[in-house]
Amino acid sequence: MTTTATPASTEQRIHLAALRLFSRQGYAGTGIRELADEAGLSPASLYNHIGSKEDLLVRIMLEGNDRLERTAVAAVQGIERPEVRLARLAQVHVFVHGSFRQECRVIDAEFSELSGAHRQLVLDQRDAYEAMWASALQDGANSAVLSVADLRVTRLALLSMCTGVAHWFRPEGPNDVYDISVRHVDLVLASTRAARGRRSIRAGDLTLLDRAWFDLALPDQPDRQASA
């Protein structure tokens, strides 16, 4: 019995074309004609499906940020211990950034290209997501499980470290994205000097998300089909 892949819709082709070009040469460096060519359309046909080039960028950002936030919310739901919440947030952030690398690179690099209401929408998403990190760090500091001298600087530094996976991770490398996510948990715990009493806390001490959880939470991981 043979199976055939379902052809991508025109909207999907445009979306993926924008991802590839924005990731490779930047939003400002991508023209409408290039986008149309990459999607296999004429410029006139392209405008039948999009309002503007910025509409494509904001869609990429809103969809990507929504996926990250939804996955993070599910990961920490019902979890009270702040060190476990922080560890799971790190896992999700790294796993998503390693699995959706093109998308995450565009979101990370092109925010300044947004204007007006589009910019505020994406900023509100980002603030809501980062508030989960801020809460875990604050609760950990309050309970003396985490040592955090400056909450804002620590949050931004940890996010920057975990976001960097989108730029250097390759699925054909020696470690898969799940392994990388667990290794980052140890880096995050070490950076915040996580401890119970005099005993340091490591990834192996916590109830982390397993591979099966990510398979269910993120069934559309693009790196399973092709590298970016």
Among 136, 5, 156, which residue's Cα sits nearest to residue 72? 136
CATH code, residues 53-224: 1.10.357.10
Q: For residue 222, is pLDDT > 50?
A: yes
Structure confidence by residue, pLDDT tens digits, 30-82: 999 999 999 999 888 888 888 889 999 999 999 999 999 999 999 999 999 99
Which CATH class, in words, describes the domain spanning 7-51? mainly alpha
d(CA 98, CA 199): 31
Name the one residue in this structure whose structure tokens are 């979306």: 15
d(CA 181, CA 191): 15
Question: Is residue 8 very low, low, confident or very high in pLDDT (cuts 50, 70, 90)?
Answer: low
Q: Where are the domains of the chain?
A: 7-51, 53-224
Residue 215, C-beta contacts closer than 8 angstroms, at least 6 positions apart: none
Q: Do 7-51 and 53-224 fold alike per CATH?
A: no
Burial class (CB in 10 A: 0-12, 13-18, 19+), 139: middle
pLDDT at 223: 55
Q: Which of 82-86, 172-176, 221-225 has the highest mean pLDDT?
A: 82-86
One-letter identity of residue 61: M
